[in-house]
Amino acid sequence: MSFHRNTLLELLEGVQTFEKDVYPENVNLFESLAYDQTPPTLFITCADSRISPSMITQTEPGELFLIRNVGNIVPAYGEMIGAVSSAIEYAVGALKVKNIVVCGHSNCGAMNALLDLNSPKLEKMPTVKRWLRNSEAAYAAMRGLKAEDAGPADIKSLAESNVLLQLTHLRTHPVVAGALARGELTIQGWYYDIKKGEILVLDEQSRASRPVSDVIAELKKTAKKNA
């Protein structure tokens, strides 16, 4: 069983370890970050505690500008003016990020809820229910591709379908549309399998998922051609 910092005391002890051991070892990094941030990537993922964006991408503080929420959802522009749209505007408009990644994941509670939006359990969470409306079309798209009724095995398809939908929503944000048109921005969808420790890159055209090694090989080839 893994160790959990269950109490506030234990959490503060973690902070103490950071201050005493981790910070001194990385003091140059933190000093370089003291007054400015220039993250190349906006990373949008679920609030799920099992996802550690910096661990799965092997990035350091300063590299990922993060948006996290239930279900890694990006409401279409104008749907909801709030945390997500402001963070996108700031990341693309002010910080000039070069990449946006939307990362869904295995066994996502939000996707489970989306499979049964009328469940009594959700009645007690009216805000969540309303929020998940931004993913409803993903459910319809998945059902459209699969004739039979959705079951537990379809949670992966739904999570993937949801990521693809959120990429579409992302493009409705003027700041994103502008940067894409100028060729200053790349957007990509990922699916993270927690148990396997594996990321799949989702292809928007074919809706297929590809291993990272495939996409790396392709990007290297393109880079060579353009060199």
Return residues touching Zn ion (CB under 5 A): 46, 48, 108, 110
Question: Which of 179, 202 has the CB closer to Zn ion?
Answer: 202
Q: Order the strands of the 99-105 sheet from edge to edge.
A: 64-69, 41-46, 99-105, 186-193, 198-202, 209-211
Question: Which of 69, 85 has the CB closer to Zn ion?
Answer: 69
CA 40 to chain centre: 15
Question: Which of 89, 193 has the CB closer to Zn ion?
Answer: 193
CB of 170 to Zn ion, least distance (A): 18
Judge contact between 84 and 74, C-beta under 8 A: yes
Judge contact between 44 and 103, C-beta under 8 A: yes
CB of 48 to Zn ion, least distance (A): 4
Question: Which of 158, 179 has the CB closer to Zn ion?
Answer: 158
Q: Strand, coil or helix: what is 100?
A: strand
Q: Strand, coil or helix: what is 103?
A: strand
Judge contact between 76 and 172, C-beta under 8 A: yes
Copy the structure tokens of residue 214: 């495939």
CB of 44 to Zn ion, least distance (A): 12
CA-only gyration radius of the chain, Å:
19
CB of 181 to Zn ion, least distance (A): 31
CB of 111 to Zn ion, least distance (A): 7
Question: Which of 110, 187 has the CB closer to Zn ion?
Answer: 110
